[in-house]
């Protein structure tokens, strides 16, 4: 089989999965037919089917597990932020997406989200995720790596209140793309004790503004928070 035909064989499976998802014939949690069945259906090699499944896995659309248990096989999942984050991270590593541009884009999306969270119809329980993370970060004994992990989740949880899934997904993937740079920077910061003290105060201010539905204040505080940290970190 020529390379060209192999690429087309693989595309046929991708197109079929996309159409089935769009029509609802395939839904989250559904299992794709086995490798052999797909190879027969599309009259392609099993190697081509494996390539197509692998591509879907990288896109965060399916998860494959070997074995024969209830979780085995190729299952339809939805993991857009880790897939987008992984792709972004590679392009940051190759220096094609400058870190400072990712940070700027993150500031844009996050200020937008907190501004819109002020008027979005979330219930008091929905802000509890962010509150729990805020309280967890108040623990003095937290290692910097764990703190930065909770920090990322805190920002995603607050931004999610705006109710725009695309914005939340973009934010999560941008954060994922620069995760290693942030943890490295946090470790490099000699005076982590002082840094963490400021970060905590910022987080409480941001949380209070969002809880009080003051979108203008929340957006300003989160912008200052991001610029302050990245000004030190990169």
110 touches Zn ion by CB under 5 A: no
How many CB atoms sit inside 10 A of residue 49's CB? Answer: 25
How many CB atoms sit inside 10 A of residue 132's CB? Answer: 14
CA distance linking residue 176 with residue 84, whole number of Å = 9
CA distance linking residue 32 with residue 140, whole number of Å = 47
151 touches Zn ion by CB under 5 A: yes
Min dist CB 199 to Zn ion, Å, is 6
* Contact code string over 32-61 relative to Zn ion, x by CB under 5 A: ------------------------------
Min dist CB 226 to Zn ion, Å, is 7
Min dist CB 154 to Zn ion, Å, is 6
Q: Smaller CB distance to Zn ion: residue 11 or 194?
A: 194
- Number of residues binding to Zn ion, judged by CB under 5 A: 1
Q: Smaller CB distance to Zn ion: residue 151 or 172?
A: 151
Residue 13, both tokens:
């499976």
Q: Return phi, psi of residue 223, to 5°.
A: -65, -45
115 touches Zn ion by CB under 5 A: no
Q: Smaller CB distance to Zn ion: residue 200 or 213?
A: 200
* Distances in whole angstroms, Cα of residue 233 to Cα of each of 104, 111, 131, 224: 14, 20, 26, 14
The sign one gets for the Cα dihedral 178, 180, 185, 186 is positive
Q: Smaller CB distance to Zn ion: residue 57 or 129?
A: 129
Site residues, Zn ion (CB under 5 A): 151
């Amino acid at each position: 089989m020529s390379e060209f035909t192999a690429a087309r064989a693989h595309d046929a499976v991708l197109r079929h999965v996309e159409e089935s998802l769009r029509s609802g014939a395939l839904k989250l949690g559904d299992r794709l037919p086995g490798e052999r069945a797909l190879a027969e259906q599309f009259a392609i090699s099993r190697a081509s089917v494996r390539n197509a499944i692998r591509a879907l896995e990288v896109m965060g659309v399916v998860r494959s597990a070997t074995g024969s248990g209830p979780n085995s096989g190729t299952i339809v999942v939805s993991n857009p932020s880790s897939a987008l984050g992984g792709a972004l991270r590679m392009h940051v590593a190759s220096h094609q997406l400058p870190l400072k541009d990712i940070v700027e884009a993150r500031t844009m999306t996050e200020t937008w989200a907190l501004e819109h969270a002020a008027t979005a119809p979330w219930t008091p329980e929905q802000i509890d995720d962010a509150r729990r993370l805020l309280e967890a970060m108040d623990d003095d004994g937290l290692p910097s790596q764990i703190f930065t992990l909770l920090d990322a989740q805190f920002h995603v949880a607050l931004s999610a209140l705006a109710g725009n899934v695309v914005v939340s997904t973009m934010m999560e993937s941008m954060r994922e793309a620069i995760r290693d740079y942030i943890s490295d920077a946090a470790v490099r910061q000699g005076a982590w004790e002082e840094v963490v003290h400021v970060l905590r105060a910022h987080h409480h201010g941001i949380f209070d503004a969002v809880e009080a539905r003051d979108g203008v204040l929340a957006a300003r505080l989160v912008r200052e928070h991001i610029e302050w940290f990245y000004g030190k970190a990169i």
